[in-house]
A and B are shown apart, each in its own frame.
Chain A
Amino acid sequence: MDITRKDVEHIATLSMLNLNEEEIEGYTKDLQNIVSFAEQIQEVNTENVAESAFALDAYNVFRKDEVKESFNRDLLMQNAPSSNGVQYQLPPVIVD
């Protein structure tokens, strides 16, 4: 599998990352190496093998829908890069 710089530009867009020229070049090479390495898994015969999402069996883990004490809003808002104390502040999302 060949990774091209166009692939890297595409996945950077999907990942919400800007990459400069040097980074595109570097990551194209790195991803090419890593994906070629990952290619080995194709050798494993997985016919009739089920996928596992993680190592243990656990399905439909629910807890009761109860009102409980939640986070302290002031403490949460203190970490906001920009807020009025009770709301996060952003640039306009819809512009004409």
Chain B
Amino acid sequence: MMNTAYFKDQFEGLADDSSADTIKELSKAAFESYNHSGLPSSKLEEWKYTNISSLFDKNYQFSKNNSEEELSYTSLKALNLPGQNEANVLYFIDGRFMPDLSKIRSSEKELVILPLEKAAAGPYQKIVKEHLGSSSKYLKDGLHALNTAFIQEAVFIYLPKGQQLEIPLYLHHVTHATKENILSQPRSLIYLAENSNLQLVETYTTLGSMDSFNNEVIEIVLEEHAFLAYYKLQNDGPNAAQVSSTHIHQIGKSYVQSLTISLNGGVIRNNLNLVLDAPGNETHLYGLSLLKGNSHVDHHTLVDNKQPNCFSNQLYKGIASDTATAIFSGRIIVQPDAQKTNAYQSSKNIILSDQATIDAKPQLEIFADDVKCSHGCTVGQLDEEAMFYLRARGIPLKSAESLLLQAFSSDVLTQIKLEPLRKHVEQLISAHLASS
């Protein structure tokens, strides 16, 4: 694996002047941690379904600092999703936050966007110090450490108290894999102050035919009465691998809805952590993987109930055809203090071919005695009676299949409250089903 020497080289070459001390210390410790553990091997229980280290048999490069010159705002705009033109959009090119290319429509009073280094040195120093890197307590693998080791050109997003942001915020990750295999490592810290409201959308585009690997970490903190709707749309090329870690820390009684739609891509691993750290927190996690070809999507969720009276519900649905693999591994922890926890989890799957794979692995770890927790997994095929009924009315086989799969997906899709995004996803799914 040549990458190890390359990372060392790159780390030593990092400019020492610009970063704030907080970030520098964190990076240094993270690089040591990476050196110690290396990239996660599939021998680790948490990674047994997804062999990440073998992807690094080929060499990935960090991009040289010149690809933004080739990408203008106009060319980026062509990649936008419906509704994105009216939204706040932050572009990340090869993992680096691009303030000059980004488009902020909300006022500074409503939404603060800063390069992380500036936030760490300025008025948000305390928040950055307290919350940046808090995900490392939960994600101890070398890949996560590698992101932290190279925190550079990251973004800090802050919603001031009481700001109910009406227009959504898009994080659009563009990887420029035209000449070499690119490793991008975007990093964001998002803070929702008391009584603020954010609709966050993440989307990914790889340009070029070389391979890309997006090793992403987002940390989000919610104060009392904050509201977050978080949508992630994964519809990239088969050359685009991704490990996307989102760590959400609800430090005040707040509300989170997360929805991940995975349609196309190479190897995808999503780590989604929810730390329910105040009484009365509420969290809803949804996922839909609609996979064909050789796609591989591995969802790992963790809901850590630390305080009493929290509610969480998870609904993950998977459809796998061809040789695709859909994985759901959901872990719920109920700490001793978290009495009256309500935590539910359901994974429902349809397998459409003999060569496709579905793995579902629920884990409950309960250390309190007055809780309601449940989990359930199903893996099945299309309902033959329903298929016959539809066909007996003249609906062709392919359309009948597609109708039933859309129906199967519908309770996840109706949770997308952003109208243009939902319509777009529904169209993608129709097209996806029609072409398979």
Is this pair of chains taken from one and the same complex? no
